[in-house]
C-alpha cells in the first residue's frame, strides 16, 4: 500500500461517523464473536470442505436459492470462472456472454482468457440490464450467459419482473444456460417482493457472496444441479480453492446471515429516501432515480480528484467518512460515487447527511 492510501485508511479509521455500508468489527472483536457463536452452536469443523459447518451451510443456501446442491468457495471469482469452465466444456465452445460492465469483464485482469482461454462476448448495454431482445440479437452461439442482479456498475439497476422472466424464456428457447452473478442478490428480494428461489428460478446456476451485505470475512457459494456442483468441486480442487479448513469463513457468514437479510428491506426503503434527498442537491443526479436495491450511484458535476480531496477534508473537519472513492465518468469533469445503504445510514438522519454532502460539494467546487 502506498503512502497516500495508507494515510486515507488511517483517516477513515479515525472517523466517528461512517455513511456507507455496514458496521464492521475490529479483528479481535470479530474473533471473539466467532468463538462465542461457535461455542453456542456447537460448531464442527469441515475438512477440505466436507462435513461440519460447510455441509450445513451449503444445504441451507441451496434450499434458499431453490437449487439441488451448492458448494462453498473462497471467492466469487473462482466460483464464476469454474461455472464458465463447466458450461464451455459441456458445449464444446470457448465463448460465453456477459454484460459489457460485468465484474468478470472489468475487474479480474482478463481471468477467463488468461486461465482458460475463454472469450467473453459482450451482450446488451453497459447502461441498463440485459434484455431478452439483447440475447436474441446475438448472432453467435454462446455456451452460457452471465446475468448480474443487480448491476453494480449501472447503479444497482434491476430489470422489471416481467423483463427478467422474458430473458429467462429467451435463454430457454435458445438452449443457453443462464448463470446469475448474484454477488448482491440479497438486495433484490425487497424490490421484487419474491423469494430468492423464485428470483433464481430459470437460472442454471447462481453465485452469491458471503461478504457483500452479509458481512462474512470472505467466501462465496455456487449453487446448481447436483452434477454441475460435483464438477465444480473437482475444478475447485484443481484451482487450489479446496482449503484444508474453511470453518472461520463459514462461521463469520453464518453468525450474522439471518440478521443481515432481515435488515435489507429497511435498507432499501432508506435508500429511496436518501435518493430523493440527493436529487435535490445542486449538481447531483441519482442513478437510478428511484433505487431498486439498497445501493445507487451519485453522478456529480465535479472532477473525481476534487471530490476525493473534499471527502478527506470533510473527514478531517467533521470526523465523517462519506464514501469510498469518486471515479471519473466518460464526460470530463463529471464523477460517479457509489453508495451502499447499510445499518450505518439507517442510524443517521437526513439533516446530517444533507449537511455533510453540501459541505462536500462546497469543498469540491472550484
Q: In the structure, what pLDDT confidence band is assigned to residue 115 with cuts at 50, 70 and 90?
A: confident
Domains of the chain: total? 2
Give the mean pLDDT of 7-29: 93
Q: What angle do CA 243, 247, 250 make, to 5 degrees?
A: 105
Whether 294 maps to a domain, the answer reads yes
Mean pLDDT of the chain: 95
Give the mean pLDDT of 127-132: 95
Q: What pLDDT score does 60 carry?
A: 97
Distance separating alpha carbons of residues 125 and 129, to the nearest angstrom: 7
Q: What pLDDT score does 363 carry?
A: 94
Strands 178-182 and 205-209: parallel
**191 and 111 in a common domain:** yes
CB-based contacts of 351: which residues, under 8 Å, 6+ apart? none
> What Å distances lie between residue 154 and 101, 128, 200, 258, CA to CA?
8, 6, 21, 28
**342 and 290 in a common domain:** yes
- pTM for the structure as a whole: 0.94
Give the mean pLDDT of 324-340: 94
The model's pLDDT over 50-108, given as tens digits with 9 standing for 90+, comes to 999 999 999 999 999 999 999 999 999 999 999 999 999 999 999 999 999 988 877 88
Is the confidence at residue 279, as pLDDT, over 90? yes
Q: What pLDDT score does 4 carry?
A: 77
Listed residues 255, 288, 312: the one ending a domain = 255
Is the confidence at residue 338, as pLDDT, over 90? yes
**266 and 243 in a common domain:** no
Q: Are 328 and 299 in contact (CB under 8 A)?
A: no
Any alpha helices (H) in 279-349, and if so which ranges?
A: 304-318, 343-346
The model's pLDDT over 254-272, given as tens digits with 9 standing for 90+, comes to 999 999 999 999 999 999 9
Whether 34 maps to a domain, the answer reads no
- Give the domain extent around 171: 43-255
Listed residues 223, 255, 287: the one ending a domain = 255
Whether 51 maps to a domain, the answer reads yes
Q: Residue 194 has which C-alpha cell?
A: 419474491
Task: Report the CATH number at residue 270.
Answer: 3.90.1150.10
CB-based contacts of 190: which residues, under 8 Å, 6+ apart? 264, 265, 267, 268, 269, 293, 294
Q: Residue 282, CB half-sphere, CA atoms under 13 Å: how many?
A: 7
**316 and 247 in a common domain:** no
Q: What pLDDT score does 330 carry?
A: 87
Amino acid at each position: 500500500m502506498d503512502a497516500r492510501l495508507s494515510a486515507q485508511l488511517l483517516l477513515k479509521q479515525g472517523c466517528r461517523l461512517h455513511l456507507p455500508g455496514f458496521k464492521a468489527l475490529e479483528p479481535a472483536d470479530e474473533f471473539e464473536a466467532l468463538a462465542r457463536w461457535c461455542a453456542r452452536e456447537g460448531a464442527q469443523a469441515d475438512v477440505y470442505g466436507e462435513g461440519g459447518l460447510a455441509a450445513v451451510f451449503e444445504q441451507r443456501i441451496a434450499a434458499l436459492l431453490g437449487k439441488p446442491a451448492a458448494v462453498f468457495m473462497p471467492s466469487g471469482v473462482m466460483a464464476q470462472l469454474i461455472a464458465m469452465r463447466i458450461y464451455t466444456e459441456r458445449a464444446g465452445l470457448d465463448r460465453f456472454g456477459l454484460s459489457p460492465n460485468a465484474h468478470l469483464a472489468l475487474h479480474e485482469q482478463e481471468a477467463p482468457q488468461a486461465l482458460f482461454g475463454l472469450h467473453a462476448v459482450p451482450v446488451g448495454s453497459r447502461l441498463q440490464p440485459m434484455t431478452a431482445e439483447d440475447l436474441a440479437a446475438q448472432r453467435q452461439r454462446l455456451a452460457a450467459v452471465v446475468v448480474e442482479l443487480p448491476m453494480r456498475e449501472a447503479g444497482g439497476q434491476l430489470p422489471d419482473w416481467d423483463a427478467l422472466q422474458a430473458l429467462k424464456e429467451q435463454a430457454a428457447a435458445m438452449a443457453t444456460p443462464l448463470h446469475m452473478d448474484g454477488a448482491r442478490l440479497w438486495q433484490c428480494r425487497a424490490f421484487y417482493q419474491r423469494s430468492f428461489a423464485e428470483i433464481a428460478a430459470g437460472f442454471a446456476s447462481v453465485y452469491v457472496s458471503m461478504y457483500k451485505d452479509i458481512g462474512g470475512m470472505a467466501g462465496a457459494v455456487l449453487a446448481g444441479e447436483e452434477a454441475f456442483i460435483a464438477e465444480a468441486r473437482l475444478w475447485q480442487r484443481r484451482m487450489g480453492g479446496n482449503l484444508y479448513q474453511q470453518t472461520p469463513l463459514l462461521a463469520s457468514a453464518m453468525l450474522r446471515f439471518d440478521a443481515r437479510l432481515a435488515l435489507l428491506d429497511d435498507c432499501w426503503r432508506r435508500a429511496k429516501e436518501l435518493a430523493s434527498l440527493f436529487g435535490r442537491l445542486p449538481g447531483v443526479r441519482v442513478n437510478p432515480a428511484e433505487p431498486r436495491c439498497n445501493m445507487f450511484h451519485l453522478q456529480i458535476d465535479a472532477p473525481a480528484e476534487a471530490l476525493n480531496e473534499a471527502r478527506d477534508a470533510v473527514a478531517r473537519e467533521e470526523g465523517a467518512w462519506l464514501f469510498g472513492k469518486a471515479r471519473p465518468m466518460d464526460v470530463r469533469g463529471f464523477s460517479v460515487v457509489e453508495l451502499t445503504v447499510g445499518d450505518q445510514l439507517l442510524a443517521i438522519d437526513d439533516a446530517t447527511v444533507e449537511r455533510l454532502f453540501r459541505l462536500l460539494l462546497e469543498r469540491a467546487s472550484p
